Structure 1
Amino acid sequence: MPDIAPALHSRLTGINLRGLVAAVPAQTEDADVLTEKWGYDNAHKVAAATGIQTRHLAPAGMTACDLGQAAAAKLLEGLQWTADSVDLLVVVTQTPDYPLPGNAPLLQHRLGLRHGCGTLDVTSGCSGFVDGLWVTASLLASSNGRRALLVVGDTTSQFVPPQDHNTRPLFGDAVCAIALERGSEDETFLGVVPGVDGSGAPYLTVRDGAARHPVADACFGHLFMDGPQVFAFTLRQVPKNIAAAMQLAGWKNEDVDYLLLHQANETMMRHLATKSGFSDQQMVLALGDFGNTSSASIPLAIASALAGPAVEARAPLNLLMSGFGVGWRWASAVWRTEPLQYCQVLLVDPVAAQP
């Protein structure tokens, strides 16, 4: 195991996951639909390489705030939390409804949260769930607040040109709402180990005209991704980061109930799991039905694994989570939490998404 002492890390006790709702657009697109546009080979080669078969895409007019509102409202209803019992709202997205204000004050108003509620907007992508979890849990632990909503996710498809054979089959849209509650349970804890290497930022980027970079010029104005660079970065940095998080928890591999990796590429995920010594049974794969959903991918995987009867299948839960990608940022978290009280995947149609 590596020595984590030089790296920034955090370990917080008594922060529990109470519930989770993942909201995805009802509209889908799969490899068979793309076959009609591009032909079989072009449509299916990416699916075969990544394991992504179907994605949920937000139609015109459906925003990240719409999906976040649907997820959070359903979560509050399912947990029977009143709006005025929420002390903190943190929103993580790369696709806010407006350049300003951020989505946090918009959601505060739409959900009817009290004026004394703390709100914060965070810009983060592939590592965004772990980043947001760390921020939210830290704010709860350092304040007199008890309950928090973390809302994470994007409508990434807005950045992908319809004719782009390489990236269109990869990205789906989703926003997840996660309920956290501070308790007195010292046996529950959250540990986070982050990392960053901004020199790799140009290899996964969206350029809006404010600046140019030679690597991104070929797809100026749209999402650009250098797949081999992403793959190499992930295998180089993430196993070390996962090992550091495991050391922070004091866990052995067999202590982990669920390994939840950023859902970007099945081949890459299997490489990471094998390199880190985890079994196929521990790793959750949800990208086949949803694609790469950016910061929503890990909580969407949790919802896929634990929704319905599985909500109370294990108590407590040992979750190992790792997000990695855009910015060349990575963050792994170890979370021993009480079992979820409510968990669901919610399909949102355009009518239901209207504020």
Structure 2
Amino acid sequence: MVGNNHIRSVKNVRVKGIACAVPAHVAEVTSLTDAFGAENLNKIRSSTGVERRHVVSSECSSDLCVAAAERLISDLNIDRSTIDTLIFVSQTHDFTLPATACILQERLNLPMHAAAFDIALGCSGYTYGLWVAGSLLSGGGSQRALLLVGDTISKIVSPADRSVAALFGDAGSATILEHDPSAPDMPFVMGTDGRGAKNLIVPSGGFRDRHGQSTETSEPGVRGPYDLYMNGAEIFAFTLARVPALVKALHEANTASGKEIDHYVFHQANRFMLEHLVKRMKLPPEKVVLDVKDVGNTSCASIPLALSLHQNKAGSHLSGRFMLAGFGVGYSWAGCIADFDNVWVSSLTVTSNSETEGEM
């Protein structure tokens, strides 16, 4: 226990590779000028740091994750029969039921002995997914896990809502983790505060309000009951209250290693929030990855996408000690310290509705 944060150590787990995919269609923020006005839009661009986003047409999060997984499996020459665990993390699943992971098992031609399940999380989803996959691998109950993390938040954003219309992009990711007794420990910190659930929510469409009767977040001409609602001020306050403590706890857990953190990769919420956190926590700016300009906030896929975009500029392998931290919707937060040793990073896949169109 460090302060109010419980350190959960995952042992015997190594990250083997990471791949990401985005849809081909690019939506420029400037296309919203008529809707919001040039002055308002310039303020939005200045604070968020977002210039454009990749957004889907008819694709689902699972389609983007399949593209990323196929690329990663091919690049690493992985025998699919050796993948014994499949985890799909998303807030934008294919169906109410069945679990999208079950469908992905068949689409990816994974063995029937593979365990497959969904996790419904957003901004903290990647780091939570690493913890769940790592925990299953740690004791040897699983030998190789495929973690698929992605969201298509553009499908639930009202184009008339100034608080979110220019912010969110779509992406999917694939990460392969393996049981490895020689791997260094991965300390994790996570937490939950459900009191903040109402501040980032789609109130209708689930079984609490299936038919859109809720008026809690609706605003005529701005958003309806099936659209994403975000209380930006409350989300910002939550971030300032929780993330510095999370980072401090991980720093204290890291002290015993005698190693420095090489890079910090946080959920890519927006530029203003990340730059404010960096100043508040007195982190070296050159060690903090910030990559929202061309992809926006991609929810649970933002951390692997930031890793991918960061590494694609330098080469195909990722090495060093990384602090990863996701935080937001729920409220939910999770962070870890991961030692990456020649982790393969595939070129970013850009997909059409049904096939890969190219690379970035």
Q: Could you tell me the TM-score, scaled by structure 2's length?
A: 0.91
- Contact 1:35-1:43 at 8 Å conserved across structures: yes
Q: Does residue 1:241 correspond to 2:283, yes or no?
A: no
Q: Choose the corresponding residue for 2:9, options 8, 11, 23.
A: 11
Q: Does residue 1:260 correspond to 2:251, yes or no?
A: no
Q: Does residue 1:303 correspond to 2:308, yes or no?
A: yes
Q: Does residue 1:35 correspond to 2:33, yes or no?
A: yes
- Contact 1:12-1:190 at 8 Å conserved across structures: yes
Q: Partner of 2:178 in structure 1?
A: 181
Q: Give the whole-Å Cα distance in 2 for the aligned partners of 1:73 and 1:6.
A: 41
Assess, with a 3 A threshold, how the Cα gap between structure 1 residues 100 and 148 changes in structure 2: closer, same or farther.
same
Name the SS of the counterpart of 1:250 in structure 2: helix
Q: Choose the corresponding residue for 1:159, options 153, 156, 160.
A: 156
Q: Partner of 2:195 in structure 1?
A: 199
Assess, with a 3 A threshold, how the Cα gap between structure 1 residues 286 and 254 changes in structure 2: closer, same or farther.
farther
Aligned-residue Cα RMSD (Å) equals: 2.1
Name the SS of the counterpart of 2:172 in structure 1: strand
Q: How far has the Cα of 1:245 moved from its partner?
A: 1.7
Aligned pairs for 1:267-346 within 5 A:
267-307=272-312, 309-312=314-317, 314=319, 317-346=320-349
Aligned pairs for 1:130-145 within 5 A:
130-145=127-142
- Contact 1:202-1:216 at 8 Å conserved across structures: no
1:193-212 deviation per Cα after TM superposition (whole angstroms, max 9, x unaligned): 10111111101101115348
Name the SS of the counterpart of 1:310 in structure 2: coil
Aligned pairs for 1:91-102 within 5 A:
91-102=88-99
Q: How far has the Cα of 1:16 moved from its partner?
A: 1.4
In the alignment, structure 1 segments of 5+ residues that lack a partner are: none
Q: Partner of 2:43 in structure 1?
A: 45
Residue 296 of structure 1 aligns with an amino acid whose one-letter code is A
Q: Partner of 1:351 in structure 2?
A: 354
Aligned pairs for 1:12-91 within 5 A:
12-35=10-33, 37-59=35-57, 61-91=58-88
Q: Partner of 1:170 in structure 2?
A: 167
Q: Give the whole-Å Cα distance in 2 for the aligned partners of 1:308 and 1:111.
A: 29
Q: Could you tell me the TM-score, scaled by structure 1's length?
A: 0.92
Residue 109 of structure 1 aligns with an amino acid whose one-letter code is E
Residue 216 of structure 1 aligns with an amino acid whose one-letter code is T
Assess, with a 3 A threshold, how the Cα gap between structure 1 residues 13 and 254 changes in structure 2: closer, same or farther.
closer
Q: How far has the Cα of 1:54 moved from its partner?
A: 0.9
Name the SS of the counterpart of 2:21 in structure 1: strand
Name the SS of the counterpart of 1:333 in structure 2: strand
Q: How far has the Cα of 1:102 moved from its partner?
A: 1.5
- Count the aligned residue pairs: 348
Q: Give the whole-Å Cα distance in 2 for the aligned partners of 1:43 and 1:252.
A: 46
Residue 70 of structure 2 aligns with an amino acid whose one-letter code is A
Q: Choose the corresponding residue for 1:227, options 227, 232, 246.
A: 232
Assess, with a 3 A threshold, how the Cα gap between structure 1 residues 250 and 97 changes in structure 2: closer, same or farther.
same
Q: How far has the Cα of 1:4 moved from its partner?
A: 1.6
Give the % identical residues. 33
My pick for the range that moved more, 117-126 or 269-278, is: 269-278
- Contact 1:201-1:328 at 8 Å conserved across structures: yes
Q: How far has the Cα of 1:178 moved from its partner?
A: 0.7
1:312-354 deviation per Cα after TM superposition (whole angstroms, max 9, x unaligned): 364xx2010111110111111111232212332111111317x
Q: Does residue 1:127 correspond to 2:132, yes or no?
A: no
1:231-254 deviation per Cα after TM superposition (whole angstroms, max 9, x unaligned): 111011110011112222326998
Q: Give the whole-Å Cα distance in 2 for the aligned partners of 1:39 and 1:76.
A: 45
Assess, with a 3 A threshold, how the Cα gap between structure 1 residues 313 and 131 changes in structure 2: closer, same or farther.
closer
Residue 163 of structure 1 aligns with an amino acid whose one-letter code is A
- Contact 2:149-2:173 at 8 Å conserved across structures: yes
Q: How far has the Cα of 1:24 moved from its partner?
A: 0.4
Q: Give the whole-Å Cα distance in 1 for the aligned partners of 2:17 and 2:104.
A: 18
1:244-292 deviation per Cα after TM superposition (whole angstroms, max 9, x unaligned): 1222232699811110011011111112122222111100011111111
Q: Give the whole-Å Cα distance in 2 for the aligned partners of 1:309 and 1:7.
A: 34
Q: How far has the Cα of 1:45 moved from its partner?
A: 2.2
- Contact 1:11-1:189 at 8 Å conserved across structures: yes
Q: How far has the Cα of 1:12 moved from its partner?
A: 1.6
1:62-114 deviation per Cα after TM superposition (whole angstroms, max 9, x unaligned): 11111111110111001110211212111100000101111111111000000
Q: Give the whole-Å Cα distance in 1 for the aligned partners of 2:318 and 2:131.
A: 25
Assess, with a 3 A threshold, how the Cα gap between structure 1 residues 216 and 118 changes in structure 2: closer, same or farther.
same
Residue 83 of structure 2 aligns with an amino acid whose one-letter code is V
